[in-house]
Amino acid sequence: ESHVQIAARRLASKFGVVIDLDIPKIPYRETISRTTSAQGRHKKQTGGRGQFGDVYCRFEPLPRGTGFEFESEVFGGSVPRQYIPAVQKGIREIMASGVIAGYPTVDFRCVLYDGSYHSVDSSEISFRLAAHIAFRSAIPDGEPVVLEPIMDVTITVPDDAMGDILGDLNTRRGRISGMEQAHGNGVITAQVPLAEMQRYSTDLRSMTQGRGYYTMTFSRYDIVPAHLVETIAAEAKARRNR
């Protein structure tokens, strides 16, 4: 954080380049908590050839970190084989924008289990759009949640600052996992949401008079507390409307 600020000041003074610095965006994700199903039916009639695609999809939650899986249980040609990849492509397209705050939806399986087609009007684009409709219809009933990155944090500070650091971590939703002494300093290990670690370098310098330092690595994604979701969604919407 401080290195970026120093570099920006140097660019401004040496080359007259003004750089706008902003807080990095948190890579939130969304997922579902229970299995849900829906039909997606896209039908459009025009003067000439129309569009028709009809799918029934089941969405199942997967363990954290799994990503996305797609399966077809279609038998008997209710959805012709050549259109099944279009359904998968449609789900991949629409899952990039979740239903809560517009963040990518992860850790779920989509199972295509039925559908129908028209011998003239069906096409790949029709089945892609039908998949979009199935996703948008089903996911709100799957108890969707927002996920946030959780970080492993190790903080080294003078002994006389330990109390302040521990209290501060508590306000940041941190979970202390260990404390020990090393070379006359206190070492705290904790797991803290990345959203709560923004500008931490500046705050740590202030609390320790420049004598503390920390390291931080990614641990996992976990569910955002319900009382924070509305704020996250509102902030995401505001950024999209800029």
How high is the pLDDT of residue 11? 81
How high is the pLDDT of residue 183? 83
How high is the pLDDT of residue 6? 80
Predicted confidence (pLDDT) per residue in 215-242, tens digit: 999 999 999 999 999 999 999 999 888 7
How high is the pLDDT of residue 239? 85
Give 199's DSSP letter.
T
How high is the pLDDT of residue 127? 98
pLDDT at residue 46 tops 80: no
CATH node for 33-143: 3.30.230.10
CB 117 within 8 A of CB 158: no
Q: In what order do the strands lie in the sheet with 68-72?
A: 36-44, 51-61, 108-116, 68-72
Q: Which residues pair with 40 in a beta bridge?
A: 55
CB 130 within 8 A of CB 87: yes
How high is the pLDDT of residue 92? 98
DSSP string covering 108-147, please?
EEEEEEEEE--TTT--HHHHHHHHHHHHHHHGGGG--EEE
**How far is CA 20 from each of CA 17, 76, 87, 200, rounded to the nearest angstrom?**
10, 58, 42, 20
Give 33's DSSP letter.
S
How high is the pLDDT of residue 1? 56
CATH node for 149-236: 3.30.70.240
How high is the pLDDT of residue 178? 96
How high is the pLDDT of residue 24? 81
d(CA 203, CA 160): 16
Residues whose CB is less than 8 angstroms from the CB of residue 63 and which lie 6 or more positions away in sequence, other chains included: 107
How high is the pLDDT of residue 4? 75
Predicted confidence (pLDDT) per residue in 160-215, tens digit: 999 999 999 999 999 999 999 888 899 999 999 999 999 899 899 999 999 999 99
**How far is CA 66 from each of CA 59, 80, 124, 136, 239, rounded to the nearest angstrom?**
14, 28, 27, 21, 28
Listed by start position, the domains of the chain span 33-143, 149-236
How high is the pLDDT of residue 2? 60
| Closest to 25 (Cα-Cα) out of 148, 144, 107, 145 | 148
- Binned at pLDDT 50, 70 and 90, residue 128 comes out as very high
Predicted confidence (pLDDT) per residue in 11-41, tens digit: 888 888 887 777 789 999 999 999 999 999 9
Predicted confidence (pLDDT) per residue in 146-159, tens digit: 999 999 999 999 99
H-state helical runs in the chain: 2-15, 84-94, 124-138, 162-171, 200-208, 226-240
| Closest to 118 (Cα-Cα) out of 48, 38, 47, 54 | 54
Q: Which two tokens stand for residue 54?
A: 């009809």
Predicted confidence (pLDDT) per residue in 73-102, tens digit: 999 889 999 999 999 999 999 999 999 999
Higher pLDDT, residue 10 or 66: 66
d(CA 63, CA 78): 30
